[in-house]
Amino acid sequence: MNGRKPDSEAGAPQRRITLERVYRAELQDVWDLWTTKDGIESWWGPGGFTVVVRKLDLRAGGELLYAMTAIDPPQVAFMQKNGMPLTTEARITFTEVVPLQRLAYIHLADFIPGVEPYDVATVVELERTARGVRMTLVFDAMHSDEWTDRAVAGWTSELGKIEKILTARAVGGHS
């Protein structure tokens, strides 16, 4: 982890992106989607990709290692056009784990052609409300506006997957 974006200036504050959702679900169900192998594999990665968790050590200092593979034709074409492998191995290092409340981690962005690897800090906070579970996701902007827009689109897709999973569980009567 090097903690710096390639174009960041020393001492400059890091731009952060915040996404918020409210899920009509049990807190434990949302937490499990973020913190278990089956949960992560069910939604992680933008549409058109699949994820396989290789290692999950859920504690401060522990790691999540996973492989993400492009499987749908548009995503495969995008990866090929941009000189990126169809499967990328990724590493997340957890910095804070507060069960059912907060998950913080550093994701090593080492998959971008021509860009030195850098860290992306992410925090997920969960809170039970009268309307359900409020999930707040805050993450570092990427090295460029284009890649930040891609990250936001990816997270938006992923958070939509979480919504579908939780809705299906509620309709199916199991959690």
pLDDT tens, residue by residue, 152-161: 998 999 999 9
Per-residue DSSP letter, 58: -
Grade residue 8 by pLDDT with cuts at 50, 70 and 90: very low
pTM, to two decimals: 0.85
Grade residue 13 by pLDDT with cuts at 50, 70 and 90: low
- Report the C-alpha dihedral over residues 149, 137, 123, 54, rounded to 10 degrees: -80
Q: What is the pLDDT of residue 45?
A: 87
Per-residue DSSP letter, 120: E
Q: What structural domains does the chain harbor?
A: 16-172 (3.30.530.20)
145 vs 47 pLDDT, higher one: 145
Among 2-11, 17-26, 80-89, the least confident range? 2-11
Question: What amino acid is encoded at 98 in this protein?
Answer: V
Residue 40, number of CB atoms within 10 A of its CB? 20
Q: What is the pLDDT of residue 2?
A: 46
Residue 120, number of CB atoms within 10 A of its CB? 18
Grade residue 169 by pLDDT with cuts at 50, 70 and 90: confident
